[in-house]
Structure 1
Amino acid sequence: MTEPSEASADVEPPAPGAPAGASSTPSGPRSVTTRATLAGAAASGLLVLAIVFGSRMLHNFDSALLPYAVATVFLAFGVAYRYTVWISAPGARRLFIEGRRSLFSLENFRGAPTALPRMAATYLGFQKFLGARSHARWAAHQLIFWGCVLAALITFPLTWGWFTFTSGSGSGPGYEMRMWGVKILGFDSLSLLGWLMFHGLDIAAVLVIPGASYFLWRRMKDRGAVTGQRFAYDLLPLIALIVISVTGLLLTFSSIFLHGGGYQFLAILHMASVVFTLIYIPFGKFFHIVQRPAAVGMQLFKYTGRKDDEVFACRRCGEPIDTGPYVENLRGTMRDLRLDFDAWAEYCPRCKRVLRGTAYLSHVKKGFK
């Protein structure tokens, strides 16, 4: 058995009177909160500087988009804060460290140079693991994912003043797209490219609405989903996505067909829904968007172990469980948590059930004979 890694070296013993097996974080709650607050403040400060310098000292910053920009600053603080708290837990910390080592390992890159791009596409882009559960859920998730990605790629740079669209002649139809004040391309607003440029958010909304509506319908009809769902955690994010998308489309509808009728009210409603959702992301279900990239490093960690034939076999039946490094990482996490049955990580699920049943018959049932 190997010694615990540096990730568990600073774990404090449980407090006197604490129950056996009680979990303990690498440091006290106050220390974790302090680190998380500093991380959030640093992320917010860096984003503010990026906005100021990226918009050429606010020369390209649109003051009408100030509420969106402020919301993104709060978003940066919340994401950094929540992520720091998350990786402070022993289990998440170990997975984060091992995943980071695998991601930045030159040995892994030389041995499997295409592994990282393939896993990024599989786990981040196309999320094939969802297809094993349900093709409909996978398709709906893809609609939401790519719609949100498209909206973020358009909204954030525009909000921060990094992207600008200006008329090349002052009267159109030629426009120029500039990034940080540098011309990227010119296009005709009446062409297909121009239409796509000015209606990218509408396309994103059209993708998100059916995907979010499917999951909302499923959470109202599926018995398994209804049983454990919570309104603020499971339903509110879907409702927020639908409200953002619908109000965004109504803004376009108002400007084209109603000559701006009701545009001001719709703009305020749309802004409020976007700001609320951005602030909600770090503290609700949407936080898994931030957590998901960590899965790539962890899968790479397991993949390299299999590639090196480091597969750990069950101590009882000999069936393969997982990679040797992954099993040892699991045992280390259980030791960090002061769990006294880390040796059970060396048995497959079937043998664990058999051993539990045997122990029950030998030590519990025996007393009733």
Structure 2
Amino acid sequence: MSEPTDVLAADPPPPPGAPQPPAPAGRSVTARATLAGTVVSLLLIAAIVLGSRLLRDFDSALLPYAVATVFLAFGVAYRYTVWVSAPGARRLFKKGFGSFFSAANFKKAPTALPRMIATYLGFQKFLGARSRPRWAAHQLIFWGCLLAAAITFPLTWGWFTFTSGSGSGPGYEMRIWGFKVLGFNSLNILGWLMFHGLDIAAVLVIPGASYFLWRRMKDRGAITGQRFAYDLLPLICLIVISVTGLLLTFSSIFLHGGGYEFLAILHMVSVVFTLIYIPFGKFFHIVQRPAAVGMQLFKYTARQDEQVFACKRCGEPIDTTPYVENLRGTMRDLRLDFNAFVEYCPRCKRILRGNAYLTHVKKGFK
């Protein structure tokens, strides 16, 4: 189907000898991703050894968790390298992190980055515009997982240790890298919170993950496009981890350790599986999100300079001029021959596509 030449005409081909944006070869991307994953994994292993004072503070019972975090580091670095090798993601990465560390942006709006980190990355206000229940559930999962990671990873790596001079408490000392940070009584409020931080995280995660699981079972729009391994499995894993973690506490307090070994193995398996799964499933968007925050900052600073691009047909503002030019460049990198189409707002695009279809396809039919 042909399109109107004033709208969808391709850009003129570059002159002979002009540099072409080379598409990254699959083998070279895989090699770079493997190298990045290996380097990050080795750095984490070195950090574990040094942070645990040459493994003196490392708990061998937590070895499976530590190994899983090494695989997690490899997977995240591998997947991230592959992701930023794509033209669109590469531009997002460069523009996003370029805005993060731009002195000019800091001078224009010194408070913009902290506010966007808080509202876009932390409290995710953009989700509230879609649905308040979804926003609330997402917040429960986000802060629950963040709290669990902040406790679990340092403990797993041997960076945090809790020691008692009497062997069984109630007085304990928390040390980081061998240095005493604070002492506390396990029987007071602070001590209870310190020892039950993971239980608090589980209580936050369970209702949030359950809401999304329920929604994916009931919402027709969600059911239509969902995949078990991508959409349902992560939620099930979060619930299993949280429930088994709470059951461990229940067993130790109320059952005098009954069934503790079985629950500990089940909990460990679920955590290890989830950590290894993160880089290759839906949770990878957690790693991608900071670059998106940078892009929001990139657009915000352009608006401050009143660099707004208006629709070529109706004159309504589309987005900032630098953002539109960045999108146009991405379409060139992908060799899509209709990058002039970015000059129109969504409504005008639909009108122009409809007119083109009516003119060039339906003209012979009544």
TM interval, shorter chain, is: over 0.9
Cα distance, 1:360 vs structure 2? 2.4
Q: Percent identity?
A: 83
In the alignment, structure 1 residue 294 sits paired with structure 2 residue 310: no
- Equivalent residue for 1:28? 25
The alpha-carbon distance between structure 1 residues 60 and 220, as it changes in their structure 2 partners (threshold 3 A), is same
8 A Cα contact 1:123 1:295, kept in partner: no
Q: What is the alpha-carbon distance in structure 1 between the residues aligned to residue 336 and residue 40 of structure 2? A: 35
AA aligned to 2:102 is: S
* Unpaired stretches in structure 2, ≥5 consecutive residues: 1-10
The alpha-carbon distance between structure 1 residues 171 and 232, as it changes in their structure 2 partners (threshold 3 A), is closer
8 A Cα contact 1:40 1:81, kept in partner: yes
Cα distance, 1:317 vs structure 2? 1.1
> Which of 249, 254, 259 is the equivalent residue of 2:246?
249
- Equivalent residue for 2:169? 172
8 A Cα contact 1:102 1:301, kept in partner: yes
Cα distance, 1:362 vs structure 2? 2.7
AA aligned to 2:190 is: L
1:33-182 residue pairs with structure 2 within 5 A?
33-182=30-179
Please state whether the residue corresponding to 1:321 is helix, strand or coil. Answer: strand
Q: What is the alpha-carbon distance in structure 2 between the residues aligned to residue 347 and residue 210 of structure 1? A: 43
Q: What is the alpha-carbon distance in structure 2 between the residues aligned to residue 47 and residue 317 of structure 1? A: 54
Structure 1 ranges of 4+ moved more than 4 A: none
Please state whether the residue corresponding to 1:207 is helix, strand or coil. Answer: helix
The alpha-carbon distance between structure 1 residues 94 and 233, as it changes in their structure 2 partners (threshold 3 A), is same
The alpha-carbon distance between structure 1 residues 170 and 292, as it changes in their structure 2 partners (threshold 3 A), is same
Cα distance, 1:364 vs structure 2? 2.3
- Equivalent residue for 2:350? 353
* Unpaired stretches in structure 1, ≥5 consecutive residues: 13-25
Q: What is the alpha-carbon distance in structure 1 between the residues aligned to residue 39 and residue 56 of structure 2? A: 24
Q: What is the alpha-carbon distance in structure 1 between the residues aligned to residue 212 and residue 20 of structure 2? A: 43
How big is the alpha-carbon RMSD for the aligned residues of Structure 1 and Structure 2? 1.6
Larger RCO, structure (CA 8 Å, separation 6 or more): 2
Please state whether the residue corresponding to 2:53 is helix, strand or coil. Answer: coil
Query: How many residues are matched?
Result: 352
Q: What is the alpha-carbon distance in structure 1 between the residues aligned to residue 357 and residue 284 of structure 2? A: 41
In the alignment, structure 1 residue 336 sits paired with structure 2 residue 346: no
AA aligned to 1:318 is: G
In the alignment, structure 1 residue 278 sits paired with structure 2 residue 288: no
- Equivalent residue for 1:16? none
Please state whether the residue corresponding to 2:363 is helix, strand or coil. Answer: helix
Cα distance, 1:327 vs structure 2? 0.2
> Which of 300, 308, 311 is the equivalent residue of 1:311?
308
Residues 88-137 of structure 1 show CA distances to partners (whole Å, capped at 9, x for unaligned) of 11111111111111111001001101100110011111011111111111
Please state whether the residue corresponding to 2:62 is helix, strand or coil. Answer: helix
1:172-211 residue pairs with structure 2 within 5 A?
172-211=169-208
TM-score (norm 2): 0.94
AA aligned to 1:175 is: Y
Please state whether the residue corresponding to 1:185 is helix, strand or coil. Answer: strand
Please state whether the residue corresponding to 1:59 is helix, strand or coil. Answer: coil
TM-score (norm 1): 0.93
> Which of 186, 207, 211 is the equivalent residue of 1:214?
211
Please state whether the residue corresponding to 1:365 is helix, strand or coil. Answer: coil
AA aligned to 2:229 is: A
Q: What is the alpha-carbon distance in structure 2 between the residues aligned to residue 49 and residue 124 of structure 1? A: 30
